[in-house]
């Protein structure tokens, strides 16, 4: 009685394509013969699929014109010339060594690509930081310029000289001067070009010796005044005093200047 090991040895031996060809002279010699036989013997598409799969498992190589064979290694997407329908052990060692080199190159390429991406991200971050810094610097400069422009406007307002030339109560028959017209001349004694200013006024009694230091703004005037220019304003108001004997104080509250 044969031992189990002996049985396994013979089973393994006769399952190889070469021994199968010797054992069964009608067995296919390569994938192409196997597939051709499967196409002839299969009765259904499913049976054909199973037989073709069996052919692929038996024969790794594919026949070329002229009778030589190639083996396609999907790992490296590459075909290799082999002597028979299946690669020999030496051929498999060579294919594996080629794959090892291929895998090493792939790893190096991926590492280079990863480093290039990291470098690109660093450059993008640096560029974005620089843009943010430039925007922040521009905003600081804008705020400084706006502050300086506001201060220059205050100085210019203080150098606009407003003189009241005439005050007329529109209804002199009445005891009050609710409705009035005042003529004011304004001269720009600053070095700035004034584009507009706010004129204000208030009334004081005859007994008050001087005008108050703070006068409420009443009317915005869009008048362009170069240095030493003078303009004359005729202003009608409806908030005059109850007495026609009151005095008016006129002043420039604020101004805007040309940048």
pLDDT tens column, 45-93: 999 999 999 999 999 999 998 889 999 999 999 999 999 999 999 999 9
Per-residue pLDDT tens digits for 165-201: 899 999 988 888 999 999 999 999 999 999 999 999 9
pLDDT at 23 (0 to 100): 54
CA 174 to each of CA 169, 180, 244: distance values in angstroms, whole numbers, following the listed order: 9, 12, 8
Per-residue pLDDT at 116 exceeds 90: yes
pLDDT tens profile 12-35:
444 455 544 545 667 899 999 999
CA distances from 29 to 12, 32, 33, 37, 94 (A): 18, 8, 6, 11, 24
**Rounded to an integer, what distance in angstroms lies between the CA atom of residue 74 and that of residue 149?**
74
Predicted model pTM: 0.52
Q: What is the pLDDT of residue 14?
A: 44
Q: What is the pLDDT of residue 246?
A: 87
Task: Determine the Cα–Cα distance for residues 57 and 55; give it in Å rounded to an integer.
Answer: 5
Question: Pick the residue with more confidence: 7 or 89?
Answer: 89
């Amino acid at each position: 009685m044969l031992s189990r090991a002996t049985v396994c040895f013979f089973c393994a031996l006769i399952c190889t394509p070469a021994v199968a060809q010797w054992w069964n002279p009608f067995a296919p010699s390569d994938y192409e013969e196997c597939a051709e036989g499967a196409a002839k013997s299969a009765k259904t598409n499913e049976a054909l699929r199973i037989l073709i799969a069996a052919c692929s498992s038996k024969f790794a190589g594919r026949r070329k014109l002229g009778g030589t064979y190639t083996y396609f290694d999907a790992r490296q997407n590459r075909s290799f010339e082999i002597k028979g329908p299946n690669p020999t052990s030496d051929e498999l060692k060579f294919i594996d060594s080629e794959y090892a080199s291929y895998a090493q190159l792939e790893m190096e390429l991926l590492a280079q690509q990863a480093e290039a991406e990291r470098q690109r991200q660093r450059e993008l971050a640096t560029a974005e930081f620089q843009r943010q810094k430039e925007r922040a610097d521009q905003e600081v400069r804008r705020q400084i310029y706006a502050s300086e422009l506001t201060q220059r406007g205050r100085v210019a307002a203080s150098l606009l000289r407003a003189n009241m030339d005439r005050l007329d109560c529109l209804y002199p028959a009445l005891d009050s001067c609710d409705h009035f017209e005042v003529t004011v001349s304004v001269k720009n004694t600053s070095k700035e070009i004034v584009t507009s200013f706010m004129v204000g006024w208030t009334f004081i009694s005859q007994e008050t010796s001087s005008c108050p230091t703070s006068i409420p703004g009443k009317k915005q005037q869009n008048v362009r005044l170069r240095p030493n220019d003078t303009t004359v304003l005729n202003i009608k108001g409806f908030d005059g005093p109850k007495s026609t004997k009151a005095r008016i104080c006129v002043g420039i509250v604020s101004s805007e200047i040309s940048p």
